[in-house]
Amino acid sequence: MASLFTPFLHLIPSLLLLTLLQLHPVHSHYHPSTPSPYSSASASASQSEWKPARATYYAAADPRDAVGGACGYGDLEKSGYGKATAGLSTVLFEKGQICGACFEVRCVDDLRWCIPGTSIIVTATNFCAPNYGFEPDGGGKCNPPNAHFVLPIEAFEKIAIWKASNMPIQYRRIKCRKEGGVRFSIGGAGIFLSVLISNAAGAGDVMAVKIKGSRTGWLPMGRNWGQNWHINADLKNQPLSFEVTSSDGLTITSYNVAPKNWNFGQTFEGKQFES
């Protein structure tokens, strides 16, 4: 009988190893991050797979400086975004369409500088302009086809040591989680109306906006830049309603957000997307 099992004896170590792996599976050293002031969404609410990119950081010369960015959000501290923000390279910025979207970012491939088991969640609020005087693999870090994030140093240091400078990272889209409703900041003059859409949860980035006065039907607004939307229409002395559609196709309607006596320079809060 022993001779019948002899040819299979060499398989025993492999079978034992397979059994041990099933009983004690190996886990990556990256774990969902603990919610922090740098997190605007749950790490488990991912919308896409991890993708490779690189990240650098900036440090404001004066901490009192208010950096508005290319999305038009103005003072990021006052508008609720704080330091959990990112400037994106050309291939990610999508000409401003991506403004407001949320990303989970983690450091990879460098055990010297990465902080294991950490990730951050940031909102796209700015644009990292290309520098065509350099090659993409040289000084042109935000040149096409590079996927690149520029982070405040406060956010960067949550995932890597600052000496790392230009770090390989991974990123993925996730749903945004915000406090309160979508905000509508009204600017302009006369019949020119400009509305900044901010604090959007869910997909975060807005792809279409309509406005309605008490004496009009629904009027489509055009994207001016970032998340600033505009229209030429006489809407004074009318309560204003808004219909906002995010990039995932979901639409929310906020009726009579602004009262009849609204004025330029005011901000109003409407309904919110689910997150």
Looking up tokens 């959990």 gives 84
pLDDT higher than 70, residue 252: yes
Q: Rounded distance, CA 217 to CA 59, Å?
A: 47
pLDDT band, residue 66 (cuts 50/70/90): low
Q: Which of 37-46, 67-76, 158-167, 265-274 has the lowest mean pLDDT?
A: 37-46
Tell me the per-residue pLDDT of 17-44, one tens digit each, with 9 for 90 and over: 333 333 333 332 233 333 333 333 333 3
pLDDT band, residue 138 (cuts 50/70/90): confident
DSSP-assigned states of every residue in the chain: -HHHHGGGGGGHHHHHHHHHHHHS----S--PPPP-TT-SS-TT-B-S--EEEEEEEE--SSTT----TTTT--STTTTT-TT-EEEE-HHHHGGGTTTT-EEEEEE-S-TTTB-TT--EEEEEEEE----TTS-TTTT-TTSTT--EEEEEHHHHTTTB-GGG-SEEEEEEEE-B--SS--EEEEEEETTEEEEEEE---BT--EEEEEEE-TTS--EEPEEEETTEEEEE---TTS-EEEEEEETTS-EEEEEEEE-TT--TT-EEE------
Average of pLDDT values for 250-269?
A: 97
Tell me the per-residue pLDDT of 191-220, one tens digit each, with 9 for 90 and over: 999 999 999 999 999 999 999 999 999 999
Across 13-27, 51-65, 98-112, 242-256, the highest mean pLDDT is recorded for: 242-256
pLDDT score recorded for residue 25: 35
User: Whole-number mean pLDDT of the chain?
Assistant: 83
